[in-house]
Amino acid sequence: MIAGCIDKMQAQSCGTCIRRDDCRVVFPEALGFLLSSIRPALDRDARPPAQRHPFLALLGHVAKGIERRRARPREATVRLLVERHVAPRLADGPVRIEEVARELGFSRQTLYRRLKAEGVTFALLLDDLRRRLALRFIRDRGLTVKDAAYRLGFSDPAAFSRAFKRWTGVSPKEMRGKRPH
């Protein structure tokens, strides 16, 4: 799992991975902590890099990639900008591209074109955002299915349950019944 995530992160192809947002926040910080704790040992190791422990060599390679990525300024994508704008508004009712575009200072057509250039439509972005938030809400045992449905802007819990089953193949209640391995 970790090796696959590292490869995806390096290739910037996390795409539709459900752990994408969590990895962006948690993984670089955890990796930085791990590297800071073993860096003195790596610095003392006089062996050539090829003879060092392969896992530590991999960690070093990944850390350099993360440092390079952090060194260059990164512009927020339009998709990320729209997601950050839309997420807190889902519970308020239907979210329309016209309203979002106006609030972000775009025309509807400009927002449509910019999202299309990033390979997504507004409808797909909204569906993916709801899916990711639904998974997070269902994992939170303190939130009822009904509350999760309303927070995501669904008119009733049945509509939410149908969408959740389309996204995951199981109902929200079945997902809660599954125990992590």
End-to-end CA distance of the chain: 14
HSE (side-chain half, CA atoms, 13 Å) at 14: 16
Do 87 and 143 belong together in one domain?
yes
Do 35 and 88 belong together in one domain?
no
Total count of domains within the chain: 2
Do 126 and 173 belong together in one domain?
yes
Domain end position, chosen among 71, 99, 118: 71
| Residue 161 to residue 140: CA distance in whole angstroms | 16
Q: Which of 65, 66, 38 is nearest to 52 (CA)?
A: 38
Provide the token pair at 141.
Answer: 């045992």
Residues 6+ apart with CB under 8 A from 166: none
Q: Name which of 31-35, 97-101, 142-146 the model is least confident about.
A: 31-35
What is the mean predicted confidence (pLDDT) over 57-82? Answer: 76
Domain end position, chosen among 71, 94, 123: 71
Instruction: Please give the backbone phi and psi of residue 154, each rounded to the nearest 5 degrees, phi first.
Output: -80, 145
Q: Name which of 24-38, 44-58, 135-149 the model is least confident about.
A: 24-38
Please give the residue that has the higher pLDDT: either 87 or 141.
87
**Beta carbons of 150 and 91 less than 8 angstroms apart:** yes
Do 111 and 66 belong together in one domain?
no
> Which CATH number covers residue 156?
1.10.10.60
Other Cβ atoms within 10 Å of 137 Cβ, number: 21
Supply the range of the domain harboring residue 122: 78-177
**Average pLDDT over the chain, rounded to whole?**
78
Confidence tier at 181 by pLDDT (50, 70, 90): very low
Please give the residue that has the higher pLDDT: either 21 or 33.
21
For the chain, percent of residues with pLDDT exceeding 90: 45
The burial class, CB within 10 Å (0-12 / 13-18 / 19+), for 55 is: exposed
